[in-house]
Structure 1
Amino acid sequence: MKHFLLILIIIAQASLFCLGQENTESTPATSNVAGAEYPKIQTDLSVIFRVKAPDAKKVQIDLGKLYDMTKDDQGVWSVTTDPQVPGFHYYSLVIDGIKVADPASESFYGMGRMASAIEIPEKGADFYTIKDVPHGALSSKYYYSEYTKSWRRLFVYTPPGYDKNISEKYPVVYIQHGGGEDETGWAVQGKTDIILDNLIAEGKARPLIVVIANGNVTAPGGGFGGYSSKGMAPFKEEMTKNIVPFIDANYRSLADADNRAICGLSMGGGQSFYVGLESPEFFGSVGVFSTGLFGGIRTSGSGFDAEKEIPGLLSESDKFNKNLDLFYISCGEQDMRIEHTKKAVKTMRENGLEVEFNSFPGDHEWQVWRKSLHDFASRVFQ
């Protein structure tokens, strides 16, 4: 009997030791507010969420999938999720049916509102990690829009040495966010400045200026017109008649099409497609990341017709090839847009249009878009 009790004690102690190891291996998410222990990411990339809500009747985590949380006798609710895909994911606490931000997480503008998010690390991916390299500057600027008759904000990245090399001028990339986001997207979630700092330090990208504007521009009294030349006309007006002139007047930019590029994700990819291809006098390079323009989000219609959307794109592809230094398209490999995007690229190439295409593991999310920017920036202006 004594031996049996001794075995039970040893097993119990071993179990506690293993539990201690498991807790030690989990780490607070980098997207947590300062001092917050949870959410915690485990080695298999599952996430432990905890929240104190003693008066709540039901608490869930909405991380693309709803997870029911369980409550202990202290009123603390907890759950461990399935392993998550690396990247940046918005999420919500759902307390008695109401979606709210997690007070333990930083909040980000996405999904059309301020929301919590969690950064799931990707092993071996350090291109968006701060390193001991020369750093540029990311500044918030206001300009007056004659189109919207209002003050609007944008962010401007200037490369390392910009303030010292006062005689040097730089090419400019104009980069656009997706639907439900604003100009903070590429500045915060996208880690644009860190990606460019690292690329420039490695000699993989030219020193350049990046402009992150608010793409939520509508015609007076109207809404977003959808994926069409007409629907994108308000943004085109804002970009070509307000944003580009503001940058050229206030920064040492190389003010010609060969040294201007426009790119963007999702809605911003659609904006870049229309505005970039319709404005060769402004932009010599165009990047389209994960757009729904080609299909994958449309529920009706006959599909994407490149020639109809941009007259001459297929029938006069030589003209576009001459005007474009780079036409780049990318998409996530698990994105529902991927097959439609591949089909569109194939058709363009079959008609002689020069298109650079790449895909990355992931769905419709920031890790794919960070990699798209990294890839695009290493190709543009070369």
Structure 2
Amino acid sequence: MAQDSVKEDFVPSSKNQPGKEYPMVNSQGYARFRVEAPEAKSVTVTLGLGGRGGTKLEKQSDGSWMGTTEGPMDEGFHYYHLIVDDGAFNDPGALNYYGSCRWESGIEIPAHDKDFYALKDVPHGNVQQVLFSSPSTGVERRAFVYTPPEYGKTDKKYPVLYLQHGWGEDETAWSNQGHANLIMDNLIAEGKIEPFIIVMTYGMTNNVKFGTINQFDAKEFETVLVDELVPYIDKNFNTVPDKKHRAMAGLSMGGVETKLITMRRPETFGYYGLLSGGTYAPDDLKDSGVGLVFISCGSKENPDRVTSAVEALKNAGYNAVSYVSPDTAHEFLTWRRSLYRLAPLLFR
């Protein structure tokens, strides 16, 4: 799309700092940036179309730098930062989100289907931070726990989904970038799911250097998750503490963790979800007793691999479901949509 056809209906991104006008987005998915850096010699925004080096800003007469992406971006959430001369900086106008092993700026390109993760006037659950002891690592560790709106009003016990982030992210990702709590609130309010708890903790993935993922075996995290966190959650929350009421899923490298851990600990989890995180083969699930296998990705990833893997699982007699997010890649709108479709299938 030519720049001269860009609609001038830009509005501030929903991920901006309070009161900040830039960055802005328009109805076509373009993003526009303005940065105050009067002494800089060059300013580039890392956000841009794939392989094109981001968006170079031009200096204005008032000393600021402005620019618009070369083309429309995929719908949904994106990380980015600024390159000012030779330094990397976050955009002062945008909120920060933990990704790429650092706090990054974030921008939201409004999605046509954003209603399912929108903040609405419905009963809201609670996302609380918990600290749990980890003798295996010698430190107190952190997790975030989503409990549904009705939690604690009766003695009712709930199933639990252990939901993992990707490489470069941490336990804040699914609530902040993924809006997992809002997705759950809306599904519950619409009567589309039976309420359950979600537990999100750091998957210890970021010590693995990018490009060496095949060397990651998740065994240290397996001990933390299965032997330390699961017992803590079952002791401190109203859970149904058995395999049939426990699920594990993860995005990207969190999906790799999910596959490795569920294969080694089939007695712990009864439902598995890989969100842009690989696939299972029928032999991987032998004697697992798994109730559901959910595998998803974006249409710009490798959807044929996902759909063919699920077809093989179905042919082998497993309850398997595939989902391909339209017009998205390895990004959070893929995973928001995946959670939205996975949640109603769990604990049935």
Task: Please give the TM-score of this superposition, normalised by the length of structure 2.
Answer: 0.90
Is it true that 1:234 corresponds to 2:223 in the alignment?
Answer: no
Choose the corresponding residue for 1:175, options 163, 186, 189: 163
Paired amino acid for 1:286: Y
Assess if the C-alpha contact under 8 Å between 2:129 and 2:144 holds in 1.
Answer: yes
Paired amino acid for 2:305: H
Assess if the C-alpha contact under 8 Å between 2:36 and 2:65 holds in 1.
Answer: yes
Assess if the C-alpha contact under 8 Å between 2:130 and 2:144 holds in 1.
Answer: yes
Equivalent in the alignment of 1:26: 10
Equivalent in the alignment of 2:310: 345
Taking only aligned residues, the RMSD between alpha carbons, in angstroms, comes to 2.0
Deviation of 1:351 after TM superposition, in Å, equals: 3.8
Counterparts of 1:124 and 1:305 in 2: how far apart (Å)? 32
Assess if the C-alpha contact under 8 Å between 2:117 and 2:179 holds in 1.
Answer: yes
Is it true that 1:266 corresponds to 2:252 in the alignment?
Answer: yes
Choose the corresponding residue for 2:275, options 264, 274, 289: 289
Assess if the C-alpha contact under 8 Å between 2:94 and 2:105 holds in 1.
Answer: yes
Assess if the C-alpha contact under 8 Å between 1:227 and 1:270 holds in 2.
Answer: no
* 1:133-181 deviation digits (Å, cap 9, x = unpaired): 111100011111111110111000011121212x111010000000000
Assess if the C-alpha contact under 8 Å between 1:217 and 1:238 holds in 2.
Answer: no
* 1:282-314 deviation digits (Å, cap 9, x = unpaired): 1111111001x45xxxxxxxxx9764xx3xx3x
Counterparts of 2:329 and 2:205 in 1: how far apart (Å)? 26
Query: Please, which moves more after superposition, 337-346 or 278-287?
Result: 337-346
- 3-state secondary structure, aligned to 2:81: strand
* 1:78-123 deviation digits (Å, cap 9, x = unpaired): 0011211111000111111322110110011001111001011112
Is it true that 1:373 corresponds to 2:327 in the alignment?
Answer: no
Equivalent in the alignment of 2:193: 205
Counterparts of 1:217 and 1:63 in 2: how far apart (Å)? 24
Paired amino acid for 1:60: T
Q: How does 1:291-306 map to 2 (within 5 A)?
A: 291=277, 293-294=278-279
Equivalent in the alignment of 2:3: none
Equivalent in the alignment of 1:195: 183
Deviation of 1:341 after TM superposition, in Å, equals: 2.9
Q: How does 1:210-229 map to 2 (within 5 A)?
A: 210-216=198-204, 226-227=213-214
Is it true that 1:356 corresponds to 2:321 in the alignment?
Answer: yes
Counterparts of 1:226 and 1:343 in 2: how far apart (Å)? 23
Equivalent in the alignment of 1:253: 239
Assess if the C-alpha contact under 8 Å between 2:234 and 2:241 holds in 1.
Answer: yes
Equivalent in the alignment of 2:121: 132
* 1:204-244 deviation digits (Å, cap 9, x = unpaired): 111111100110169xxx8588447x712112111110010
Distance 1:273 1:64, change over 3 A: farther
Counterparts of 2:298 and 2:147 in 1: how far apart (Å)? 28
Deviation of 1:340 after TM superposition, in Å, equals: 3.2
Matched residues, number? 334
Counterparts of 1:371 and 1:339 in 2: how far apart (Å)? 18
Assess if the C-alpha contact under 8 Å between 1:60 and 1:93 holds in 2.
Answer: yes
Task: Please give the TM-score of this superposition, normalised by the length of structure 1.
Answer: 0.83
* 1:162-205 deviation digits (Å, cap 9, x = unpaired): 1212x111010000000000001012111111110000111111
Distance 1:160 1:30, change over 3 A: same
Equivalent in the alignment of 2:4: none
Choose the corresponding residue for 2:99, options 97, 107, 110: 110
Paired amino acid for 2:86: G
Assess if the C-alpha contact under 8 Å between 2:161 and 2:248 holds in 1.
Answer: yes
Choose the corresponding residue for 1:142, options 131, 138, 154: 131
Paired amino acid for 2:168: G
Counterparts of 1:94 and 1:55 in 2: how far apart (Å)? 14
Counterparts of 2:336 and 2:265 in 1: how far apart (Å)? 25
Distance 1:217 1:49, change over 3 A: closer
Choose the corresponding residue for 1:86, options 75, 98, 115: 75
Deviation of 1:28 after TM superposition, in Å, equals: 0.3
Equivalent in the alignment of 1:44: 28
Paired amino acid for 2:13: A
Unaligned 5+ segments in structure 1 are 1-21, 295-303
Distance 1:163 1:350, change over 3 A: closer
Q: How does 1:327-342 map to 2 (within 5 A)?
A: 327-335=293-301, 337-342=302-307
Paired amino acid for 1:32: N
Counterparts of 1:203 and 1:239 in 2: how far apart (Å)? 30
Deviation of 1:49 after TM superposition, in Å, equals: 0.5
* 1:296-347 deviation digits (Å, cap 9, x = unpaired): xxxxxxxx9764xx3xx3xx4xx34xx1111111111102x43333343344
How much identity, in percent, do the aligned residues show? 38
Deviation of 1:350 after TM superposition, in Å, equals: 4.1
Unaligned 5+ segments in structure 2 are 1-6
